[in-house]
């Protein structure tokens, strides 16, 4: 399995406080990699660093291209779809416009229209609400919209930041079902940050457990899932 994303020695800080102290991890093509850990371990920071939203040092390579010095806009255009925590919905725009914004860097009108229909297939509720203002959507619907928006980019890699946060279990199951479909169908690599470890491990192939800015443990998802001692000490 070739490595889609390779990270070596990633460091990042907020002001004087160092959050990431030298991370090493990989994400494979068509695989789901989970990034787990307690609050404050640096999971969200890692995703922000990958996107260039915060200052970072270290080596980040996407499909062979180094991206650690690039701006967010450039990184996104290279195929990184980030679904941020808080969803980042364009509340004033319609649902459909939010999706169109996901594809704003593309110029193939036909392809964009097809992709929008594909997203509506995944998330029928969005089709129902296509002309409504996105700010009126429920939390779960906004999460679906955020994922749909990222997918409109036809990304090589999808960065998911706590997609289950604040959502009812039924909605979470629906959304994770879509993730499973994506993993099987499209060959997109997924880096999944989750507080809910068991949920993430059910979906993931590989897992890294972060502890205060470093990788504390890594291995196959099954192994992590079955390792009671590991779960207790790192994942609570």
- Under the binding rule (CB under 8 A), the answer on residue 102 touching other proteins is yes
Q: Give the residue from 16, 5, 7, 3 showing the smallest Cα distance to 58.
A: 7
Give the nearest distance from C-beta 227 to other proteins in angstroms.
Answer: 35
Please, is 36 exposed, middle or buried when counting C-beta atoms within 10 Å of its C-beta (0-12, 13-18, 19+)? Answer: buried
Q: From the list 6, 61, 72, 195, which residue makes contact with other proteins (rule: CB under 8 A)?
A: 72
- Under the binding rule (CB under 8 A), the answer on residue 189 touching other proteins is no
Give the nearest distance from C-beta 79 to other proteins in angstroms.
Answer: 10
| Count of residues of this chain found to bind other proteins when the rule CB under 8 A is applied | 22
Task: Let me know: does 62 contact 51? Beta carbons within 8 Å.
Answer: no
9-68 residues in contact with other proteins (CB under 8 A) are 51, 53
Residue for token digits 């004033």? 92
Please, is 3 exposed, middle or buried when counting C-beta atoms within 10 Å of its C-beta (0-12, 13-18, 19+)? Answer: middle
Q: From the list 24, 85, 90, 225, which residue makes contact with other proteins (rule: CB under 8 A)?
A: 90
Instruction: Fill in the per-residue mask, 122 to 151: x = in contact with other proteins (CB under 8 A), - = not in contact.
Output: ---------------------------x--
- Under the binding rule (CB under 8 A), the answer on residue 165 touching other proteins is no
Give the nearest distance from C-beta 209 to other proteins in angstroms.
Answer: 26
Contacts of 139 (CB under 8 A, 6+ apart): 166, 167, 171
Please, is 123 exposed, middle or buried when counting C-beta atoms within 10 Å of its C-beta (0-12, 13-18, 19+)? Answer: buried
Residues found near other proteins in the complex (CB under 8 A): 51, 53, 72-73, 76-77, 82, 84, 88-93, 97, 100-102, 104-105, 149, 153
């Amino acid at each position: 399995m070739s490595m889609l994303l390779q990270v070596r020695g990633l460091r990042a800080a907020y002001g004087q406080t160092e959050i990431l102290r030298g991370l090493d991890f990989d994400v494979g093509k068509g695989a789901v990699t989970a990034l787990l850990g307690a609050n404050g371990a640096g999971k969200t920071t890692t995703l922000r660093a990958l996107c260039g939203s915060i200052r970072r040092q270290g080596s980040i390579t996407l499909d062979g291209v180094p991206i650690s010095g690039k701006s967010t806009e450039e990184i996104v255009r290279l195929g990184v779809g980030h679904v941020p925590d808080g969803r980042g919905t364009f509340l004033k725009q319609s649902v459909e416009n939010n999706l169109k914004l996901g594809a704003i860097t593309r110029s193939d009108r036909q392809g964009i229209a097809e992709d929008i229909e594909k997203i509506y297939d995944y998330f029928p509720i969005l089709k129902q609400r296509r002309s409504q203002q996105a700010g009126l959507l429920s939390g779960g619907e906004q999460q679906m919209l955020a994922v749909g928006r990222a997918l409109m980019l036809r990304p090589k890699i999808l960065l998911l930041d706590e997609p289950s946060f604040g959502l009812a279990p039924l909605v979470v199951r629906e959304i994770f079902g879509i993730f499973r479909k994506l993993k099987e169908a499209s060959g997109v690599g997924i880096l999944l940050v989750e507080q809910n470890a068991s949920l993430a491990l059910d979906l993931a192939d590989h897992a890294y457990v972060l502890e205060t800015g470093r990788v504390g443990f890594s291995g196959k998802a099954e192994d992590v899932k079955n390792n009671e001692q590991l779960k207790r000490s790192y994942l609570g």
